[in-house]
Amino acid sequence: MTIGTMMRATSIALFLMAATACSRPKPVQLTLQSAQLSSINPGGATVALVLDAHNPNAFPISGTAVDARVELANGSELGRSSSSAAFQIPAQGDATIPAELALHWTNLSLLVPYGLSGQPLPYRVVGSARLGSERLNMEVPFSISGELTREQVMNAGLNGVAPRR
């Protein structure tokens, strides 16, 4: 091998190493596995979220918070909350992220028509997980839909009840 060929091969190798070392991080994949209504009362509700996360990057990623809001199927907001429990997603790995949210109703009167109609209440939990550090962070969105029974809606407005399991 000549010196010129060796220099070109070394230059290409260095260029490829630099290009891959400086590449942007790949997005973390976040899936809301479940949203379970732990309790419901006139002031709000407790929702236990379980998120599945996949980190395709060669470095671990830390998370600082999970934010979520509960809304009706038409987009009207019922409540919102945050969980500030820190979590880690390993390099090129998966993690389960639990987050318990204490929602405070922003407009409980939105539940009245559903309670009177006898129809299930369709809802959506929409949120994001805050990943990264002070210098570099990102919000990764998630969502899930479900229904509350008429009994749960009525009891939320009257005296509070834990949901049936």
Pairing of strands 29-41, 44-55: antiparallel
pLDDT digits (tens, 9 = 90+) for 95-146: 999 999 999 888 878 877 877 787 888 889 899 999 987 677 889 998 888 8
Rounded Cα distance between 45 and 100, Å, is 10
Q: Pick the residue with more confidence: 68 or 73?
A: 68
User: Any idea where the domains of the chain sit in the sequence?
Assistant: 25-158
Q: Residue 103: name the closest of 63, 44, 158 by CA.
A: 44
Whether the model clears a pTM of 0.75, i.e. scores above it, the answer is: no
Is the CB of residue 79 less than 8 Å from the CB of residue 67? no
Predicted confidence at residue 155, as pLDDT, reads: 61
Its CATH architecture, for the domain 25-158, is: Sandwich (2.60)
Rounded Cα distance between 122 and 143, Å, is 14
> Measured between alpha carbons, how far is residue 80 from residues 50, 58, 103, 124, 165 in Å?
16, 34, 5, 12, 23
Q: Is the pLDDT of residue 37 over 60?
A: yes
**Torsion (CA) 7, 9, 14, 17 in degrees, nearest 10:** -170
